Amino acid sequence: MKEVRIHGRGGQGSVVMAELLARAAFEDGKEAQAFPYLGGGGERRGAPVQAFVRISDQPIRLRCKVHHPDYVIVQDASLAEVVDLREGLLPGAVVIVNSEEPAASFPWAEGLEVHTVPATRIAMEIFDRPLVNSAMMVAFAATGEVSLDGVRQAWRERFPGRVGEQNIQAAEKAYAYMIESRKCETCSQENAK
């Protein structure tokens, strides 16, 4: 089973992203569950919010908050100032951050596998608004835990028509960015040997 913790701010679509990641996993033939944690005023726009996803090939019987995520998705890098993004991370955990900055620029990222994706820039190009959840969702799909086809299907089912297609366009752009950046990291690591 893989567990995902999503950090965002109220109004950024973290809960929708969790639901759609679970739906994408289901489209891929997996078991999944998604749920939010809105404690502490998370229902207010801009307040820190967490959402969780579990993905498995077997039935999922757990019904609690994710305490030791395999993946952390951070929709707003400034959350590191008010939330411990490292909380509960075990060795091998992967963090995906919405940022133009390289992972090495985040002091909290030391010792972690961190990938950045310019989700805000992608969203502004597609929507003219900072709707980052589709780009961040697909940046996660680049890990292979859900497929790009599963993501497309989830968006089309939830938002048929123009809105769904725009989100798919943003998603595909983020996916291409993540795949390319992971290739570059692999090349850099091999050249360093």
Number of other CB atoms surrounding residue 47 within 10 Å: 15
Residues whose CB is less than 8 angstroms from the CB of residue 188 and which lie 6 or more positions away in sequence, other chains included: none
Domain hosting residue 174, numbered range: 2-192
Number of other CB atoms surrounding residue 50 within 10 Å: 23
Q: For the domain that residue 18 is a member of, what is the CATH number? A: 3.40.920.10
pLDDT tens-digit series, residues 83-128: 999 999 988 999 999 999 998 899 898 889 999 999 999 888 888 8
pLDDT tens-digit series, residues 23-51: 999 999 999 999 998 665 555 777 899 99
CB-neighbour burial class of residue 104 (10 A; exposed 0-12, middle 13-18, buried 19+): exposed
Q: Rounded to 5 degrees, what are φ and ψ at 33? A: -145, 150
Assess contact for 134 and 156: CB atoms under 8 A. Answer: no
Q: Kindly report the pTM of this predicted structure.
A: 0.87
Mean pLDDT, to the nearest integer, of 153-160? 87
Highest mean pLDDT, choosing among 21-25, 158-162, 173-177? 21-25
Strand 94-98's sheet: what is its strand order? 31-37, 48-56, 2-9, 71-74, 94-98, 113-117
Number of domains making up the chain: 1
Measured CA distances, 181 to 96, 133, 138, 188, 190 (Å): 12, 19, 14, 10, 14
